Amino acid sequence: MTDIGKLITELSEDAAPVKAMPHPAVLFAILSGVAALYLVGLILYGGLRPDLAAKLMSPLFLFEILLLVAMIASSCLSVAVLSFPDMHQKRLAAFAPLITLALFLIILAVEWMETPISTPHPPHGIQCLLCITAYSLVPACAIFLYLRQTANTHPTLAGGVALLAASGIGCLALRLAEPTDSIQHLLQWHYAPMLVLSALGLWLGTIILKWKTGRP
Amino acid sequence: MQQSLAGDKNAYNTVLTETATLLRPYLCKRLGDPSAADDVLQEILISIHKARHTYDGTRPFKPWLFAIARFRLQDYLRKYYGDTLRFAGDLDEIDEMSVSHVTESPLSYESIRGEIDQLQGKQPQILGLLHNEGYTAKEVALQLGMQESAVKVAAHRAYKILRKRLGG
């Protein structure tokens, strides 16, 4: 018997019944639900800005928040689909976060143009970056640990999307808590770090989500 | 595959055996070295075993299978090029390592001419015009008085037969 033949016999002997992973729609619901619960926890911890109800009347602020939510949701969808080697044959869903991210950047550009230069900057800066990073740690670890149990064949994309989701949750929690209207501050200390963390995820994915070689 | 997920060992054995038969010529074509193809095939079969919980039987099997096969093949090629570059003594050794060396197919039209001539109907003529003369499917269709889609279907069927005969 050839080596391949022997391997096939060995693997067949090891063929215990296996429970198939849920459909990506179910995985998306679970991931989004957990993300929502975590966000609620962060809001309970960090509080909400006192003028939130008034700010939500502003279309630009409302779109910013909605697009952040859409970005997190589309990242959860992408993670769900990327859990399968063939992306469950729903390739477009894996790239959905790129669309929401592009729309989000457009809204930021519009806010940049609309916000007066005289808008006061908050006195803090790096504290926001550290806060977002700290908020992102738990969801980032959770998503990476989850993806390691799956059969992802796009580790770069998966890593980037994982950290986009995690840092997006951190940014959203802080945006709802921090009473700042300075777009310069937001771009420098909130959203630029979010993009940097996502880029870091592209690299981390290739390391953390590598498949092991050799027999089980 | 669905039966194998339920724990049917004979069904699983059949799936893995047919998978090996399907993948071996694909890997030989891309690697040009049967022993390297066997190494990669072993990794793919192990990966299929570890990842079988991600296939539920409700969608086509081949895209799932080839997604894993392509991924493991890329891993192998990345490692192969990385090791060759790392251990090359001088530039001459790197020069010898070209993409064509690794991926060059041992098969050419001339090398399998005998097998092609044994095909039925217009298949030998179609393959000759496509691969020996270099015509497009449209040009072959015009020459033979066929529809372009019929030429493509005939060629596809011929490749399937040749794959079976040559891949074994």
> What pLDDT score was predicted for residue B107?
54
Q: Which long-range contacts (CB under 8 A, 24 or more apart) does A37-40 make?
A: A38/A138, A38/A139, A38/A169, A39/A169, A39/A172, A39/A173
C-beta separation of A74 from A24 below 8 A: no
> Which is nearest to A190 in space by CA: A110, A109, A129?
A129
**Of A210 and A67, the one with more pLDDT:** A67
Q: Give the number of beta-carbon pairs within 8 Å between A and B.
A: 93
Query: What does the block give as tokens for B29?
Result: 């074509």
What are the helix (H) ranges across chain A? 3-13, 24-46, 52-55, 59-82, 91-94, 96-114, 126-148, 155-177, 183-186, 192-208
Q: What is the DSSP string of B59-72?
A: S-HHHHHHHHHHHH
Q: Tell if the CB–CB gap between B7 and A20 is shorter than 8 Å.
A: no
The ipTM estimated for the assembled molecules is 0.85
Helix, coil or strand: residue A129:
helix
Sign of CA dihedral B81, B83, B85, B89: negative
pLDDT single digits (tens) B82-106: 766 555 554 554 444 444 444 444 4
pLDDT single digits (tens) B22-76: 999 889 888 888 888 888 999 999 999 999 999 988 889 999 999 999 999 998 8
Q: Tell if the CB–CB gap between B8 and A85 is shorter than 8 Å.
A: no
Whole-angstrom distance, CA of residue A190 vs CA of residue A135: 12
**Of A2 and B79, the one with more pLDDT:** B79
Q: How confident is the model at residue B115 (pLDDT cuts 50, 70, 90)?
A: confident
C-alpha dist (Å) from residue A144 to A21, A160, B15: 17, 11, 31
Contacts of A211 in chain B (CB under 8 A): 47, 71-72, 75
Q: How confident is the model at residue B167 (pLDDT cuts 50, 70, 90)?
A: low
> What pLDDT score was predicted for residue B110?
64
C-alpha dist (Å) from residue A64 to A55, A135, A196, B28, B162: 11, 19, 19, 52, 58
> What pLDDT score was predicted for residue B100?
43
E strand or H helix at B10, and its extent?
A: helix B9-31
- Give the minimum alpha-carbon distance from B143 to chain A in angstroms, rounded to a whole number: 39
Q: Tell if the CB–CB gap between B46 and A20 is shorter than 8 Å.
A: no
* Residue A120 pLDDT greater than 80, yes or no: no
pLDDT single digits (tens) A140-165: 999 999 999 999 999 999 999 999 99
Query: What does the block give as tokens for B57?
Result: 């039987």
Q: How far apart are the first and last CA of chain A?
A: 21
Length of chain B, in residues = 168
pLDDT single digits (tens) A68-115: 999 999 999 999 999 999 999 898 999 999 999 999 999 999 999 988
> What pLDDT score was predicted for residue B109?
65
- Say which residues have a Cβ less than 8 Å from residue B2's Cβ, sequence separation at least 6: B57
> What pLDDT score was predicted for residue A59?
92
> What pLDDT score was predicted for residue B48?
94
pLDDT single digits (tens) A44-54: 999 999 999 99
